[in-house]
Structure 1
Amino acid sequence: MLMDKGDMRQPQGRGRIAIFSHTHPSLTSGGAEISAYNLFRGLRAIGRDAILIAACDEANLDEITLGAHEFALPVRGAFYDHLYHIAPRDVRQSLLQLLQAQNVSLFNAHHFLHIGVGALADVAAAGIDVVLTIHEYLAICNNHGQLVTRPGQMLCQGPSPAACHKCYPEHSKQQFAVRQQHVATALTPVSAFVSPSHFLAEKMIEQGLPRERVEVIENGVPSVETVQERRRSRGVWRFGYFGQINPFKGVGVLLDACAVLARDPALAATIRIAVHGNFVGQSASFIDRFNAAVQEFPFLSYLGPYDNQNVAQLMAECDYVVMPSTWWENSPVVIQEAFRARRPVICTGIGGMAEKVVDGETGLHFVRNDPADLADQIAQAADEALHTRLQRALPRPLTSIEMAERYAAVFKQVASASV
């Protein structure tokens, strides 16, 4: 196990909480790992004895940056079964040994990726309470947990062995039935499930999660000092995209919207669109298309990856945050971060995005995969009175400490029930 200097102390007594993340924020800045890290920090801030365990492929161990009370769990992605979510036995054993060595009494996993669903049953069988936080639909959807069909890219209303076979004809209906049963069995010993949105919670309950064991706790974000507002150039409106640039985040829709905006030179002269993030899982052809768009449209710029600790200031330099995701989403941390920076959100009007952003009240919705409608919403947003009204209605997002307090209440219930 890779340990930081703070973890060389003797383990503390029972009551220690382990937060598991499928990767570390120093490696990738997706919403699940950021949420897990914020919870870990929040728990320690309220005096709870928490450690963070982040999966890291053996080949990348020299790239991870660990803080106090943080561990890296070496995993081997090449040997991971992504259909049935089965990890190598030695990875599962290493996880269990670390938990036992650290006297962990409650294991809160924010993913089962890299450790496999079977690890949850292993941990529970060792007498450690298990709480699973669900950030997407991987337990019921083989398409990266997005609930989007392929190749049609339609929103999936309800997976089944037959429907999943249509998406993945290389796997039989029987294989998907086995997958479904395998995952359901592995989740049986989980004491509680946490969902950051009601939308995701209901989707998972529809697929068999026991309602009485599902809690909804919003993703929290750290409090920040007052950020410095950018003085807007007269008549110029700034829109920012933040997050991973992966095939499900709708950046292609944003590029097509830029082409629509460019047809109106007067409007385009008042718009600035900045993309912040790193490319994940994108083809070379998409990256070429992206770079060509940046060259073609003077109002579009790519500002590269960003440190999440600086996102509040980066968002404060925009007037709006744009989220064009093409999947349901759950409870995007980007939305909470935008609200913290007091920035309205323009988003696809579906799923967890529509739950968090109220159309016409705290932001604007557009039709999924419709660049013309996105362009219309951007044009509509460039209005002082509307921006002021939306900004005034923005809710105060849950802080990391408030999130930690709500999780601590769930952990207490789980621990009491297991006595």
Structure 2
Amino acid sequence: MSPLSAENGCAPRMIYLVIAGYAPSLVGFRGPLIAALQAHGVKVHVAAPGLATDDALRIRLERQGLVAHNLPLERTGTSPLADLRALWALLRLMGHVRPHAVLAYTIKPVIYGSLAAWLTGVPRRFALITGLGYSFQQQGRGGRLQALVQRLYALALRRVDCVFFQNPDDEALFRQRRLVQPCGRTCVVNGSGVDMAQFAVVPQSSAPCFLLIARLLGDKGVREYAQAAQRVRAQHPDVRCLLVGWIDTNPDAIAQHELDAWVANGTLEFLGRLSDVRPAIAECSVYVLPSYREGTPRTVLEAMAMGRAVITTDAPGCRETVVDGDNGFLVPVQSVDALEQAMLRFLDDPALAGRMGRRSRQVAEEKYDVHKVNAVMLREMGIS
């Protein structure tokens, strides 16, 4: 039966294809949005690399009523031939599924997914910019990669109906560089949102404890966190500094020997990669993310929802989550000195983390509730 055929004699269901560059994000980041689409009667197909080998994730997606497709896409690779294979696979997939709409997020899915959707005549096409990624941070040889990515973005985003951004700085940058046309339709949403019931407030321990959750990349500020933690612990040896994450294949990844040294000298307690970060957040009193740039950092929203004060950078995507002095502190990008001083302020005033943590929860409820965020996206995609 064709995807456009009526089911059980009823009118044809709307079919959406959601394309990701990282399969677990379909559950962790886009899960509530996909569930909202399904609640409106939409049939949802998902495509991502790795679904051919991750049986547990594929089964989980299928049990949610989704149709899962493996995508031969190299998330961090730079091979033109491999990218052409991914584009060809997307063209074939769309010819088979015949979706009414496509939503793609992260760099390669946005570029190749949007182009494939346009070439196959998908009626409605949407792109979600969740951050700028490694290529936008580089100069020199990396600058050539940046220029190529921007040309491809401009080519692809001309073919979409709406581009979603997760902070106003990214939207402004895309317009300034004409990656989005002057008349192009855009919408800024408050990140991916956070499930306020799932990430409920947990009382803080009286023992001071800092936490960073991130892919272990240089531009996440992991090195700055380690240096600041070493300084703070030299003054307050009882303070714990936790790190959750994993070493990525990204060229900007932290080296294994760096991580081993931080653990060996007692600077950081490394908890590894966690499928559920709530126990780690519950253990900390202050959440730290010294990132150079984000879309909107999901881990910060989760920490805020659980009632934690936040230290993050005065950088795009990060600065939107914290009002300096209210629910946390903003520090300059790459400033170990400022990060150290912000951490020490919580140690000098033991009640500060609790006060700021309560404000974090209030801000999260008002601004970052996942249902509010998804309602905006559904409305912009013509679903109500």
Shorter-chain TM-score bucket reads 0.7 to 0.9
Which runs of structure 2 are paired with 1:251-270 in the superposition (5 Å)?
251-264=222-235, 267-269=236-238
Which runs of structure 2 are paired with 1:16-415 in the superposition (5 Å)?
16-25=15-24, 34-44=28-38, 46-57=39-50, 60=53, 62=55, 64-66=57-59, 67=61, 68=64, 69-77=66-74, 81=78, 86-88=83-85, 89-100=87-98, 104-113=99-108, 115=109, 117-125=111-119, 126-137=121-132, 144-145=134-135, 147-150=136-139, 166-168=140-142, 180-208=150-178, 209-210=180-181, 213-218=185-190, 219-225=192-198, 227=200, 229=202, 232-233=205-206, 236-264=207-235, 267-269=236-238, 271-281=239-249, 286-297=255-266, 300-307=268-275, 310-325=276-291, 327-382=292-347, 383-394=349-360, 395=363, 396=365, 397-412=367-382
C-alpha deviation, 1:390, in angstroms = 1.4
In structure 2, how many angstroms separate the alpha carbons of the residues matched to 1:389 and 1:78?
Answer: 41
Q: Conserved in 2, the CA contact under 8 Å of 1:42 and 1:403?
A: no
Q: Conserved in 2, the CA contact under 8 Å of 1:316 and 1:342?
A: no
**Equivalent AA in structure 2 for residue 131 of structure 1:** F
In structure 1, how many angstroms separate the alpha carbons of the residues matched to 2:45 and 2:157?
Answer: 22
Given the superposition, is the C-alpha separation of residues 19 and 116 from structure 1 closer, same or farther in structure 2, using an over 3 Å criterion?
closer
Q: Conserved in 2, the CA contact under 8 Å of 1:19 and 1:108?
A: yes
C-alpha deviation, 1:183, in angstroms = 3.6
C-alpha deviation, 1:322, in angstroms = 0.7
Q: Conserved in 2, the CA contact under 8 Å of 1:319 and 1:343?
A: yes
Q: Secondary structure of 1:127's match?
A: coil
Q: Secondary structure of 1:263's match?
A: helix
Q: Conserved in 2, the CA contact under 8 Å of 1:21 and 1:52?
A: no
Q: Conserved in 1, the CA contact under 8 Å of 2:23 and 2:50?
A: no
In the other structure, the counterpart of 2:4 is none
Q: Structure 2-normalised TM-score?
A: 0.82
**Equivalent AA in structure 1 for residue 19 of structure 2:** F
Q: Which moved more, 1:127-136 or 1:53-62?
A: 53-62
In structure 2, how many angstroms separate the alpha carbons of the residues matched to 1:79 and 1:319?
Answer: 34
Q: Which runs of 5+ in 2 are unaligned?
A: 1-6
Report Cα offsets for 1:280-333 as digits up to 9, x if no partner: 137898222222221212x631111111xx3234312211111011x2212111
RCO comparison, higher one (Cα < 8 Å, 6+)? 1
**Equivalent AA in structure 2 for residue 42 of structure 1:** A
In structure 2, how many angstroms separate the alpha carbons of the residues matched to 1:342 and 1:192?
Answer: 34
Q: Conserved in 2, the CA contact under 8 Å of 1:245 and 1:277?
A: yes
In the other structure, the counterpart of 2:3 is none
Q: Structure 1-normalised TM-score?
A: 0.76
RMSD between superposed Cα atoms in Å: 3.3
In structure 2, how many angstroms separate the alpha carbons of the residues matched to 1:42 and 1:347?
Answer: 31
Q: Which moved more, 1:189-198 or 1:81-90?
A: 81-90
In structure 2, how many angstroms separate the alpha carbons of the residues matched to 1:12 and 1:316?
Answer: 47
Given the superposition, is the C-alpha separation of residues 59 and 248 from structure 1 closer, same or farther in structure 2, using an over 3 Å criterion?
farther
Report Cα offsets for 1:321-372 as digits up to 9, x if no partner: 11011x2212111121111111111112211111221111121122222222
Q: Conserved in 1, the CA contact under 8 Å of 2:76 and 2:250?
A: no
Q: Which runs of 5+ in 1 are unaligned?
A: 1-8, 139-143, 151-165
Q: Secondary structure of 2:69's match?
A: strand
